[in-house]
């Protein structure tokens, strides 16, 4: 091969590299947005808009038949954010187990999905004050032929259980003695319903509010919800509470949000917003249950 051969290739490669730069350069620049210099609260207040993450789990945060984002958490968040000058809320839907990773990857700024406050999650992100408290329940076939009413029953009757990926119920189930081989971890609430109706699992574990809503929306699916119960850990009943999640360095946003949230709980607004979604007085978090306590548990 002569030297001229290389020159020809070189010429072509140079123009190809220019081509790469021309195409990829602006694309990459547009694609990447480096860490904002201003903090999230200030920039959200300036632009009057913010993004939240939801997991399409009804009734906490989901898209209704018209495609609008609604649910207890987004609506409460909307009310709280309006109070600090942020009028527009855009929602991103991601699978439940992606909520915190996507939050930390800055795909959105607040998780509004009714996420339970747990020590592991507290290590990865910041929680608001407790927003609501609910009991755990099981979705079972109509008539509940196996008579399974609690997680201990699930373990005793040796039936299969569906849980939501990265949700707290899996831990409660294993603590109650359900073997790992009987637990099917699914990524959406809808897949859990289908698993029960198809018979792949006997029961699915979620909060009672969530399951009651599912049954209401799917009246002919042949499923019912067991009465809610408190899960136990180390023999003690555990009170859970869910809240809104922020990135670790967004303390100012979290504190501003907390101020509004406390006001909403106190003046009855929270109850007004949450009742259409199946919440009631009993779901207001008890005064002595603080985020600090739940994070330390």
Interface residues toward another protein, by CB under 8 A: 1-2, 4-9, 11-13, 16-17, 19-20, 23-24, 27-28, 30-35, 56, 58, 62-67, 92-94, 97-98, 100-102, 104-107, 120, 123-124, 165-166, 184-191, 194, 198-200, 218
> Strand 110-116 vs strand 88-93: parallel, antiparallel, or unpaired?
unpaired
What is residue 167's DSSP assignment? S
Q: How far is the CB of 101 from another protein (least distance, A)?
A: 6
Tell me the C-alpha distance between 188 and 250, whole Å: 28
Separation CA 118–CA 241 (nearest Å): 9
**Smaller CB distance to another protein: residue 25 or 251?**
25
To the nearest whole angstrom, how small is the minimum distance from the Cβ of residue 195 to another protein? Answer: 9
Rounded distance, CA 177 to CA 154, Å?
Answer: 9
Pair 40, 250: CB distance under 8 Å:
yes
What's the closest the beta carbon of residue 20 comes to another protein, in angstroms?
5
Of residues 62 and 132, the one with the C-beta less far from another protein: 62
Look up residue 193 and give its two tokens. Answer: 């319903």
Least Cβ distance, residue 13 to another protein (angstroms): 5
Q: Can you tell me which residue has the tokens 């649910």?
A: 71
**What six digits make up the tokens of 188?**
């959406």
- With a CB cutoff of 8 Å and minimum separation 6, the contacts of 251 are 126
| Dihedral sign (CA 260, 249, 244, 57) | positive
How many residues are given for the chain?
297
| Stretch (H or E) spanning 75 | helix 72-83
Min CB(47)–another protein separation in Å: 17
Is it true that the peptide bond before 59 is cis, omega within 30 degrees of 0? yes
Question: Which CB, 49 or 262, lies closer to another protein?
Answer: 49
In the complex, what is the shortest distance from the CB of residue 272 to another protein, in angstroms, rounded to a whole number? 25
Rounded CA separation 277/93 (Å): 19
Choose between 23 and 266: whose C-beta lies nearer to another protein.
23
C-alpha span between 119 and 74 (Å, rounded): 24
**Residue whose CB is less far from another protein, 224 or 269:** 224
b/e 179-215 (16+ beta carbons within 10 angstroms → b): eeebbebbebbbbbbbbbbeeebbbbbbbbbbbbbbe
By C-beta, is 71 or 285 nearer to another protein?
71
Closer residue to another protein (CB): 9 or 272:
9
Which residue, 28 or 292, has its beta carbon nearer to another protein? 28
**Shortest separation between residue 114's beta carbon and another protein, angstroms:** 16
């Amino acid at each position: 091969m002569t030297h001229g051969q290389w020159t020809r290739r070189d010429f072509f490669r140079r123009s190809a590299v220019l081509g790469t730069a021309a195409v990829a350069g602006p694309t990459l620049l547009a694609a990447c947005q480096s860490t904002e210099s201003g903090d999230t609260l200030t920039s959200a207040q300036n632009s009057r808009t913010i993004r939240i993450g939801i997991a399409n789990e009804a009734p906490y945060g989901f898209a209704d038949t018209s495609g609008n984002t609604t649910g207890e958490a987004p609506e409460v968040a909307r009310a709280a954010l309006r109070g600090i000058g942020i009028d527009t809320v855009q929602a991103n839907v991601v699978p439940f187990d992606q909520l915190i990773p996507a939050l930390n990857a800055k795909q959105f700024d607040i998780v509004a999905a009714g996420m339970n406050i747990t020590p592991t999650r507290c290590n990865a992100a910041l929680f608001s004050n407790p927003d609501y408290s609910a009991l755990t329940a099981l979705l079972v076939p109509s008539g509940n032929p196996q008579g399974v009413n609690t997680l201990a029953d699930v373990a005793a009757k040796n039936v299969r259980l569906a849980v939501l990926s990265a949700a707290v119920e899996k831990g409660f189930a294993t603590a109650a003695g359900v073997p790992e081989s009987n637990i099917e971890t699914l990524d959406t609430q809808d897949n859990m319903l289908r698993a029960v109706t198809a018979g792949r699992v006997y029961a699915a574990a979620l909060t009672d509010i969530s399951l009651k809503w599912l049954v209401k929306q799917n009246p002919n699916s042949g499923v019912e919800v067991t009465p809610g119960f408190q899960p136990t850990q180390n023999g003690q009943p555990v009170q859970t509470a869910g809240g809104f999640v922020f990135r670790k360095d967004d303390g100012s946003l979290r504190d501003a949000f907390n101020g509004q949230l406390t006001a909403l709980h106190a003046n009855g607004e929270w109850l007004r917003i949450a009742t259409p979604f199946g919440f009631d007085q009993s779901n207001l978090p008890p005064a002595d249950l603080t985020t600090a306590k739940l994070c330390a548990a």
